[in-house]
Every structure is written in C-alpha cells, then in structure tokens.
Structure 1
Amino acid sequence: MPLHLLRSPWQPGPRTDARGGPAVISVTDFTATTHRQSWSVAPAGLRLRRTWPGAPGAIGLWLWADPARRRSGSVSVWTDEVALKEFVGRPDHLRIVRAHSGRGVLRSTLRRTSRFDEAAAWADARHFITGETS
C-alpha cells in the first residue's frame, strides 16, 4: 500500500522569532487499532492545534496523517525541552492521551538542533514516519 501522508499547513507558535535558532523537534506517530479510532484522533489534534498560538515556547507545528494506515501525528518545534514538557503536561493534552491510551501504538522521537530549518525538520520527520530516505 503506497504512503499517502497528508500534512497540515505550518502553524506558527508565539515564538516565531526563534526560527533559525536552536530548537527541540518532537515527532509523534500514533497508529490506531481500528479505522474508527483513527478518525477520533484527528479532531482532537485539530483542537490542540487551535491553541498553538498561545503555547509558551512553541515555534511551530505540523499535523500529519496517513488515513489508509490509521496513522497520524505531529511535528512540533520548541525553543527548549522545558516548553515541550509543559505542553505535554497540559490538562487538554493529557485528556487526549488518556482517551486514546490502549487504542493504538505511539512512537515518538526528539531531536535537538542548533539551527532550526523548516525543510530539514520536515525531511527528518518524514524519514522517521515512513522509513524512507528521500
């Protein structure tokens, strides 16, 4: 089955001034057990995306999905790990994680970079998501 990654437009966070500087990039990949479950994850991610402009330390975000494979996730860019950990601990994020716990498999990776580059970040994330090198 060919990969059909859908990607949302870049959603800037409040720290757009930090683009081009050091960053922490988090990539998540959730594979839902069923198609029905995968369709409930997308609206939850979109609700979180709407809060993005107010997330302290957030540089930007992409959401992605591969509906045929029941997979979806995010590529979030942060000024530092403290900001990422604060977001992960937010009540709205924890509600979503708990609601989908045990209903699929979650993989994630974290990368630190001395100079955030949008194209390089997406290429690295795509490699993690798909296993492809190009």
Structure 2
Amino acid sequence: MEPLRSWRPGPAGGGGPVLVSVTDFTCAYPYDLPKVYRAGLELRRAWPSLEGAVGLWLWTKPLRLRSGSVSIWETREDLHRFVAWPPHVAIMRRFRDRGTIRAHTWTADRFDPAETWARAARLLAQAGEPSQTAPA
C-alpha cells in the first residue's frame, strides 16, 4: 500500500544536481504519531523560505507508526543548514527518545520526481535494516 504523502515545493529550482534525504521515524508509542506528524507539518510551512530546498514530501504509514520525509536539496550544505536550523533541532530533541529514526541520502544529476519517489519508497519498504547511505 502506498503511504500517505504530500508534496511541498521549495524556492530552489533543482535543475542541476541534487541531494535527496529520506527520513523514517518509527514511534515507540501510538499516541506520539500525530504529534510527530504535526511537528513535520510545522517545518513544512517554512519550506518555501529555506535556502537550497527544492521540495519535500511528508509521508506517513499510520498503522505501522511510521512517518518521515523525502527532501530534495541543491547541496549537502543546504541540508546541513536545515538540520542545524533551531526549529528542526527543537523538534528532534523533543522526540529523540520517543522512537527510532533512520536516514538515507543520495545524489542525483537532476531531480526527477517519479524516480526520486520510487527510490525512496524502495528504501522505506526496507524498514528495520540498519541505516545506510544509498549509493548514487
């Protein structure tokens, strides 16, 4: 079954090489899933103003207590800037002991939405495997 997902474009064009980041958070407690997803929506609202952000899918598999994102960036530095952004840091601190997070990244010569989502979906289907960086 396809997870629920929503696309949000960013200010960057994504016409050249991109970095893709896939996050997968599995909640330890069912009552945390709505809180985690709402936190993602808070970050999503700021997406159009984030430097280097090409776009973002939020996704959720509620029956599996999982949610996360597939974000596309112009550069690795843009992703690092987002990871260090105070609102993101605050959310990560709030939920760090409430479940398990996995993250994967890869680069692509250009952003192809269908290809990117298909590759991300394959990674998400492998839940439970150790975190790894997917080859480019």
Rounded Cα–Cα distance in structure 1 between residues aligned with 2:11 and 2:79? 13
Rounded Cα–Cα distance in structure 1 between residues aligned with 2:52 and 2:103? 19
Measure how far apart 1:131 and its partner are.
3.1
Rounded Cα–Cα distance in structure 2 between residues aligned with 1:33 and 1:54? 32
1:30 aligns with 2:25: yes
Tell me which residue corresponds to 1:55. 50
Flag structure 2 segments of 5+ consecutive residues without an equivalent: 128-136
**RMSD between superposed Cα atoms in Å:** 1.3
Over residues 74-104 of structure 1, what are the superposed CA-to-partner deviations in whole Å (9 max), with x where a residue is unaligned?
A: 0000000000000000000000000001110
Q: After TM superposition, which residue ranges in structure 1, 4 or more long, deviate above 2 angstroms?
A: none
Correspondent of 2:103 among 97, 101, 108: 108
Correspondent of 1:12 among 3, 9, 13: 9
1:95 aligns with 2:101: no
Letter in 1 for 2:14: A
- Please state whether the residue corresponding to 1:18 is helix, strand or coil: coil
Flag structure 1 segments of 5+ consecutive residues without an equivalent: none
Rounded Cα–Cα distance in structure 2 between residues aligned with 1:4 and 1:32? 19
Letter in 2 for 1:115: R
1:66 aligns with 2:57: no
CA contact (8 A) 2:18 2:110 kept: yes
1:121 aligns with 2:119: no
- Please state whether the residue corresponding to 1:116 is helix, strand or coil: coil
Sequence identity of aligned pairs in percent?
Answer: 45
Measure how far apart 1:114 and its partner are.
1.1
Measure how far apart 1:53 and its partner are.
0.1
Letter in 1 for 2:22: V
**Higher mean C-alpha deviation, range 76-85 or range 123-132:** 123-132
